[in-house]
Chain A
Amino acid sequence: MDESGTLVASPPRSAKLQVEGLSAYYGSKQVIQDLSIDFDDKSVTAIIGPSGCGKSTFIRCLNRIHETVPRARATGRVLLDGEDVYTIDPVRVRRRVGMVFQKPNPFPTMSIYGNVASGLRLNGVRKPALVQERVIRSLKQAAMWDEVKEHLDAPGVSLSGGQQQRLCIARALAVEPEVLLMDEPCSALDPIATSKIEDLIFDLKRDYAVIIVTHNMQQAARVADKTAFLYLGKLIEYGDTKEIFERPKVKLTESYITGRFG
């Protein structure tokens, strides 16, 4: 919104995901308020905002994970290539809209190979040759093939934190999603692991629409083409990242990104 309260949003290049009037609730508490936004294809969008503003809830609505929480619900529309995800089987939605979480969560009983293959098997891919091809391709896409190719049978949890997170990204990529949601994917990682994930995000945007929630302003500035600022469940400002970080139009955005409230 600008000073007069009008939403400031850039026109989409080619919207992969269109959110229309989305509201989300935990019981009677509304945490997302009538939010509308378009996400470009083959582009990275950062969602920023103070703790509790609804960032994570918002992206969990995009692949219908939000509704798995007891008493949680959402209203409004989320159009994936024009098709409302709330009219599609949620399992299919989550295959098309993958997600990576804040804390790396490889399946503890599975090997590196098994972790990446798990999503494929759940989705009915049985042919060993096809599974192997997808696993290798996903590990390469996640920029960790060279690091793990000699010990694919090792447990996924034996990897470092940064490697585990990239393993989770590979697992998400294996089912060939169209959109990748990342909820603070680097918050538990050291600077080197963070740099690797950021490089990976840069590469991934060639093929995917990436939406990343981050508390790290510099990370948003580094990786995102566009940035959306949320406050109290509302979209306050949305635009090109360079504009948001150099000359935001809304005072509230400026106060937040310059660290004057939080």
Chain B
Amino acid sequence: MPERVERKAFGEGLVQLNQHTVEMAGLAQRAVRMAVDSLVHRNDDRAKEVFLLDREIYRLQRAVEGECTDLIALFAPVARDLRTVMTVLKISTDIDRIGRGARNIAEVSLELSQVKQKSPKLDKISRNADLAIHMVDQSVRAFVEGNDRTVREMGRFDDEVDTLYREIFSDVLAGLNDRTIKPEVGVRLILINRHIERIADHAVNIANRVVYLVSGEAPPPVSRMVNGESGLTGAPGLAPAPPPSEPRADAEAGSGAAPADDSPSKAATGDRKPE
């Protein structure tokens, strides 16, 4: 076999990228957990902590982006090295979006705490958040280990999240119909439901990127659903219902979370970044 050469400077760059990515992912998972906790326990302080985590995630994402640019410019990586840098670049965006999703949940949670109504049961929302966090954890773990075996079944978890999403949606609609849930609460729960579902989608994006990293296979194409194909049921008088989004091209990945950025609490908490 030929003599092995270490590329020390490039290797150190990759180690740093890896560390920042893992750090970002850890913060993002924590942010989602705290955001949902703030909702379930009506804890405003916890919600505000999420904003700090989100800012830190954004700072790390900018750092990772710069590091990727440096590595490409200085070392012109190819083959797996190139796939690694490209993967980090893409998944750092997904992780950032997960942080943004957590922030959106925290914002809505703060708004909900102002509404005088006994909180409806949030078990399913909490369970779905657990699932989404688990998916993020699995995806990032697969990235760190460079192993795509575990994430090839990520779709199964995503299906579970989608199923719960539909159930929660139906439950909220039923509550709105029978007036056990106030509209200002129900609409916000639907928003939170949506944010959690999007977080799971970002986990699937990360998983697909890990498959690309390991095997070189291009991420699978995703068919787009059209109105009426969403599979949402139990929503009488609501057609078409908002479909649960599938994981899709990363360029669009943030759009699902974007509306919450216009929420009133944004000004109170300080904007983190321009979109």
Which residues of chain B come closer than 8 Å to A256, judged between CB atoms? 2
Nearest CB to that of A243 among chain B residues? B216
- Stretch from A91-99, A118-126, A245-253 contacting the other chain: A245-253
B77 CB–A CB distance under 8 Å: yes
- State the CA gap A245–B216 with chains docked (Å): 11
Which residues of chain B come closer than 8 Å to A262, judged between CB atoms? 2, 5
Return the CB mask of B1-45 against A: 1 if under 8 Å, else 0. 011111100100000000000000000000000000000000000
A247 to chain B, nearest CB (A): 3
A3 to chain B, nearest CB (A): 14
Which residues of chain A come closer than 8 Å to B5, judged between CB atoms? 259-262
- State the CA gap A158–B225 with chains docked (Å): 67
A257 CB–B CB distance under 8 Å: yes
| Of the residues A221, A231, A252, A261, contact of B78 by C-beta under 8 Å | A221
User: Is B7 in contact with A259, judged by CB distance below 8 angstroms?
Assistant: yes
Which residues of chain A come closer than 8 Å to B78, judged between CB atoms? 217, 221, 245-246, 257-258
Nearest CB to that of B10 among chain A residues? A259
User: Is A254 in contact with B4, judged by CB distance below 8 angstroms?
Assistant: no
- Stretch from B79-87, B226-234, B241-249 contacting the other chain: B79-87
| Of the residues A50, A218, A231, A246, contact of B79 by C-beta under 8 Å | A246
Which residues of chain B come closer than 8 Å to A195, judged between CB atoms? none
Return the CB mask of A67-89 against B: 1 if under 8 Å, else 0. 00000000000000000000000
A10 CB–B CB distance under 8 Å: no
- State the CA gap A143–B30 with chains docked (Å): 60
Which residues of chain A come closer than 8 Å to B3, judged between CB atoms? 261
| Of the residues B2, B80, B216, contact of A258 by C-beta under 8 Å | B80
User: Is A258 in contact with B4, judged by CB distance below 8 angstroms?
Assistant: no
Nearest CB to that of A245 among chain B residues? B78
- State the CA gap A246–B83 with chains docked (Å): 7
A255 CB–B CB distance under 8 Å: yes
Q: Which of A50, A246, A253, A261 has the most CB of B within 10 A?
A: A246
B123 to chain A, nearest CB (A): 45
- State the CA gap A223–B78 with chains docked (Å): 15
- State the CA gap A50–B4 with chains docked (Å): 13
- State the CA gap A260–B5 with chains docked (Å): 5
Q: What is the interface residue range for chain A against chain B?
A: 20 to 34
User: Is B79 in contact with A257, judged by CB distance below 8 angstroms?
Assistant: yes
A164 to chain B, nearest CB (A): 28
User: Is B80 in contact with A254, judged by CB distance below 8 angstroms?
Assistant: yes
User: Is A247 in contact with B4, judged by CB distance below 8 angstroms?
Assistant: no
B267 CB–A CB distance under 8 Å: no
User: Is B77 in contact with A246, judged by CB distance below 8 angstroms?
Assistant: no
Nearest CB to that of A253 among chain B residues? B79
User: Is B76 in contact with A258, judged by CB distance below 8 angstroms?
Assistant: no
User: Is B4 in contact with A218, judged by CB distance below 8 angstroms?
Assistant: no
Nearest CB to that of B2 among chain A residues? A261
Which chain A residues in 222-255 approach chain B with CB under 8 Å?
A: 231, 245-248, 252-255
- State the CA gap A231–B10 with chains docked (Å): 24
User: Is A217 in contact with B4, judged by CB distance below 8 angstroms?
Assistant: no
User: Is B82 in contact with A245, judged by CB distance below 8 angstroms?
Assistant: yes
A82 to chain B, nearest CB (A): 35
User: Is B2 in contact with A248, judged by CB distance below 8 angstroms?
Assistant: no
- State the CA gap A255–B81 with chains docked (Å): 10
User: Is A218 in contact with B83, judged by CB distance below 8 angstroms?
Assistant: no
- State the CA gap A255–B10 with chains docked (Å): 14
- State the CA gap A247–B2 with chains docked (Å): 21
- State the CA gap A259–B5 with chains docked (Å): 7
User: Is B4 in contact with A248, judged by CB distance below 8 angstroms?
Assistant: no
Return the CB mask of A151-186 against B: 1 if under 8 Å, else 0. 000000000000000000000000000000000000
Identify 29 residue pairs between A and B in the complex whose beta-carbon atoms are under 8 Å apart, listed by A's number.
A50-B2, A221-B78, A231-B2, A245-B78, A245-B79, A245-B82, A246-B78, A246-B79, A246-B83, A247-B83, A247-B215, A247-B216, A248-B79, A252-B2, A255-B4, A256-B2, A257-B79, A258-B7, A258-B77, A258-B78, A258-B79, A258-B81, A259-B5, A259-B7, A260-B4, A260-B5, A260-B6, A261-B2, A262-B2
Chain B residues with CB under 8 Å of chain A are 2-7, 10, 76-83, 215-216
Ordered nearest first, which 4 A-B pairs have the shortest CB separation?
A247-B216, A261-B2, A245-B78, A254-B79
Given A247-B215, A261-B5: 12 more A-B contacts, CB < 8 Å: A50-B2, A245-B79, A245-B82, A247-B79, A253-B79, A255-B2, A255-B4, A257-B78, A258-B81, A260-B5, A260-B7, A262-B5
